[in-house]
């Protein structure tokens, strides 16, 4: 047997530890998705495509870069792969905007909209796999879409992506798909308060999943605590 194959044989726990946690988090506008990056474990890089860094400007453990073109995303992936950029966690904020950037560029190059959408789907899948396979924790942030079921009249919630196929494909790339939700309530003094929770399991017409089986149905919006609960001690190896 080839030595390189022998060296790659490890226990499932060792392999998972090497890969790091991969999470997809989506939610409605204003829910605090970008703020969530402040709770990521270790030294964190936020790859921002939405120019909305105000909520994390004072975070001590974060670096950030604003991306304007799709080619820059590939350059960042390469720098992370060869460890020129060395981080414990990477937050992509957001993959929804990443797809919009790609679509805008493809529409400028092609007169056929169907071809443009097809190219975007292909590139998005390739790019997300590339980041997913990095040996570190990677958090993919997405906007939330609301789709109405014509037969039942009920609304269903899922990650927002361009096209009809991509939103249904994206959740299959991840072990953990979480929804950042806000709830209005009253405190003991009768004042209105808003709480934020991460939904980890499908329900109430929201797409979510916890393949590990280690998370409660709703968890506090703390990425470091969740990643630790998944079995990772701090930054990935």
Q: Is residue 71 part of a domain?
A: yes
Q: Which domain holds residue 145?
A: 22-229
Mean pLDDT of 200-204: 95
Number of domains in the chain: 1
Q: What is the pLDDT of residues 87-131, one digit of tens each?
A: 999 999 999 999 999 998 888 888 888 888 888 999 999 999 999
Q: Is residue 204 part of a domain?
A: yes
pLDDT at 17: 66
Distances (CA, A) of 46 to 17, 116, 128: 22, 28, 15
Q: Is residue 157 part of a domain?
A: yes
Q: Is residue 58 part of a domain?
A: yes
Q: Is residue 10 part of a domain?
A: no
pLDDT for 235 beyond 60: no
Q: Is residue 145 part of a domain?
A: yes
Q: Is residue 28 part of a domain?
A: yes
| Model pTM score | 0.90
**φ and ψ of 143, to 5 deg:** -75, 170
Lowest pLDDT segment from 80-84, 183-187, 202-206, 223-227: 183-187
CATH number of 27's domain: 3.40.50
Q: Is residue 13 part of a domain?
A: no
Copy the structure tokens of residue 46.
Answer: 């936020």
Would you say 26 and 180 are in contact if contact means Cβ atoms under 8 Å apart?
yes
Q: CA 141 to CA 131: how far, in whole Å?
A: 13
């Amino acid at each position: 047997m080839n030595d390189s194959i022998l060296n790659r044989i490890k226990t499932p726990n060792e392999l998972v530890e090497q890969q790091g946690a991969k999470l997809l988090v989506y939610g409605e506008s204003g829910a605090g998705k970008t703020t969530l990056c402040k709770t990521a474990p270790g030294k964190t890089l936020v790859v921002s495509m939405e120019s909305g860094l105000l909520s994390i400007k004072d975070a001590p453990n974060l670096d950030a870069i604003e991306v304007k073109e799709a080619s820059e995303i590939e350059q960042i992936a390469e720098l992370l792969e060869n460890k020129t950029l060395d981080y414990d966690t990477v937050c992509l904020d957001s993959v929804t905007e990443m797809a919009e950037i790609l679509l805008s560029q493809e529409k400028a190059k092609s007169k056929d909209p169907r071809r443009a959408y097809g190219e975007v789907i292909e590139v998005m899948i390739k790019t997300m796999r590339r980041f997913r396979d990095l040996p570190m924790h990677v958090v993919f942030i997405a906007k939330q879409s609301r789709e109405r079921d014509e037969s039942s009249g009920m609304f269903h919630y899922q990650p927002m992506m361009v096209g009809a196929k991509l939103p249904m494909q994206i959740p299959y790339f991840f072990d953990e798909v979480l929804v950042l939700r806000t709830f209005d309530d009253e405190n003991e003094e009768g004042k209105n308060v808003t709480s934020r929770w991460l939904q980890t399991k499908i329900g109430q017409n929201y797409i979510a999943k916890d393949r590990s089986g280690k998370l409660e149905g709703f968890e506090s919006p703390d990425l470091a605590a969740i990643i630790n609960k998944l079995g990772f001690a701090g930054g990935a190896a």
